[in-house]
Amino acid sequence: MITNTTETLSEGTLNLQRGASPLTARWLQFMKTKPLGAFGATVLIVMVFVAASANVLAPFDPVEMHYSDTLRAPSAKYLLGTDNFGRDVLSRIIYGARISLYIGLGAVISGTLLATALGVFSGYFGGIVDLLIQRVVDAFMAIPGLVLLLAMMSVLEPGVMNLIYALAIRLAFANTRIVRSAVVSVRQNQYVESARAIGTQTWRILLFHIFPNVTAPIIVVATISLGGTIFAEASLSFLGFGIPPPTPTWGSMLSRTGISYMIIAPWTAIAPGLVLSVAIFCINMFGDALRDILDPRLRIRQGK
């Protein structure tokens, strides 16, 4: 009975994939093979939608203070309660998603572009260029990530753009070697040697022969780095080196109100901490699933 039901569901899924568009069919196949990754991608899409629609979804202004409703427990009016200034926790979490995504995506895009440039030049040209770039990378990687971020933010003024710059620089040096190793493996292929032999310009080789063949690991690294970048932003905000108040961020909500009123008003810490944990977990699950699909070495090991 169970076997017949499973076969019926499989046949129904196969028929649905056959009648669907190519994009829908790929999504259904992705859900079937990587359910956790599909769940993570769904949560990320919802997070993007919530961040983009914060003005509509938030029931209150995130910085508006209601002094008569300070530290109110979750209720019909305040679904996740209020903080010590009477600000709605749910509204601050919704707007905090916008800040986290803006900083996370900005840092990941900037850091990935810089890591790609450094990795491509280091891996393709080799020699003294590779030596100099890798020694600079070694120097930055010798410093713990959080210490390096704290040092940069102590020099820079607190702000969104400075935080993106600091996170992007750290991310670029952390991922340069991954891009470099992919470029080194591609550089040895015969089509690259043939392009050199016929006198193809270097920039055309890099743009049309090297870069398209290393996009898969770059995409995977960028996706996996998004969760870590959001966590790093929350850590800096928690330590007081992130976005200055009263702008709502998940890290600052945990740092100030969350710590001070954790006992008498636990919802001020539980709500942003839970949202932050779920967001990072789902993004990492999506990144891992994407790596399994795009990495040819993993496909070979799995016999696909």
Q: What is the pLDDT of residues 218-232, one digit of tens each?
A: 888 888 888 888 888
pLDDT higher than 60, residue 15: no
Helix (H, G, I), strand (E, B) or coil at 90: helix
To the nearest whole percent, how much of the chain has pLDDT over 90?
Answer: 23
* Contact yes or no for 298/33 (Cβ under 8 A): no
Distances (CA, A) of 63 to 59, 89, 115, 174, 245: 12, 10, 37, 36, 9
Domain ranges of the chain: 54-301
Confirm if 167 and 149 have CB atoms less than 8 A apart. Answer: yes
Return the sign of the alpha-carbon dihedral for residues 69, 75, 78, 82: positive
DSSP letter at 116 equals: H
* Token digits of residue 293: 């699909």
- Quote the CA–CA distance of 42 and 287 in Å, as a whole number: 12
Integer Rg of the chain from CA: 23
Token pair in block for residue 208: 């049309």
**Rounded to an integer, what distance in angstroms lies between the CA atom of residue 115 and that of residue 109?**
10
Fold for the domain defined by 54-301: MetI-like fold (1.10.3720)
Single pTM value for the model? 0.81
Reported confidence tier of residue 115, pLDDT bands at 50, 70, 90: very high
Q: Which residue has the tokens 């995977």?
A: 220
Backbone angles phi and psi of 156, in degrees to 5: -80, 155
Question: Of the given ranges (12-26, 32-46, 62-76), which has the lowest mean pLDDT?
Answer: 12-26
Residue at 131: amino acid letter: L
3-class SS at 19? helix
- The two three-digit tokens of residue 155, written as one number: 């020099």
User: What pLDDT sits at residue 299?
Assistant: 53
